[in-house]
Amino acid sequence: MTVGSLTWLILHGIGTCAYAASGAFVALQARYRLTGVFILGLTTSFGGGVIRNTIIGVPVIKLWDKDTLLLVVGTLTVLYLWSSRWIHQWKRWGLFFDSIGLASFSLQGALYAGQYTGNVGMTVMAALFTGIGGGVIRDLLAGRKPIALLEEVHAILTVVVGLAMWVGRDLKNHNVLLLGLFTFVVVVRMYVIGRKSQTLGERYNKSSQ
């Protein structure tokens, strides 16, 4: 996988924007305004990367390339300007964006850790903490219990990603594995949420009061 390829674009660009959007939705739900939308958007979208770079020992400043930053700020501006239309659809769209972020960041964590260590335990740990990190920081800043801790499927999927990436570490066609896992995580999570959304929604919203 090389930077600039389609796969990298999905993992990095789309994942970062999706987590930015989920941060904006949670900020609006917590009744934050302009500042809250941007700060929660930025911390959710870059939080996973901060954790990933801290784990590996790469300076965090390398995260903020000009293009990604512009993309995130653009996404947040659009969401903020249209916020009156979106706010009531958090349940559907907010969790969809959260799933995309979860998939892309857990894949990135597994990818980096696999390259640095080749160890199965560390690959799983990096997938887990890079995948859920941005969302956990987002929920703490909004004053609610992290959804990653309330929802069982969330962390289990990142563990599956870590294991699959370790098993398939010598595959020739790596991109197929990445896109397959990406789709698998998003579909499974949306399916499970669809079945349990009422129970979870109650626990999640209760924790934010």
**Binding site residues, a second copy, CB under 8 A:** 27, 30, 32-36, 38-40, 42, 50, 54-61, 64, 66, 69-70, 113, 116-117, 119, 121-122, 125-126, 128, 132, 136, 140-146, 148-152, 154-156, 207
Residue 148: alpha-carbon gap to chain centroid: 11
Alpha-carbon distance values, 50 to 46, 105, 107, 153, 200 (Å): 6, 11, 15, 24, 28
In the complex, minimum distance from the CB of residue 141 to a second copy, in angstroms, rounded to a whole number:
6
By beta-carbon proximity to a second copy, the closer residue of 4 and 59 is: 59
In the complex, minimum distance from the CB of residue 73 to a second copy, in angstroms, rounded to a whole number:
8
By beta-carbon proximity to a second copy, the closer residue of 7 and 43 is: 43
By beta-carbon proximity to a second copy, the closer residue of 94 and 144 is: 144
Cα separation, 48 vs 105, in Å, equals 7
Tokens of 11: 């993992």
Tokens of 161: 């990603």
By beta-carbon proximity to a second copy, the closer residue of 27 and 161 is: 27
In the complex, minimum distance from the CB of residue 137 to a second copy, in angstroms, rounded to a whole number:
10
Provide the 10 A C-beta neighbour count for residue 107.
30
In the complex, minimum distance from the CB of residue 180 to a second copy, in angstroms, rounded to a whole number:
24
In the complex, minimum distance from the CB of residue 150 to a second copy, in angstroms, rounded to a whole number:
7
By beta-carbon proximity to a second copy, the closer residue of 97 and 112 is: 112
Cβ-based neighbours of 27, under 8 Å, separated by 6 or more: 36, 37, 39, 40, 41, 142
Write the DSSP string, 122-148.
HHHHHHHHHHHHHHHHHHHHTTS--HH
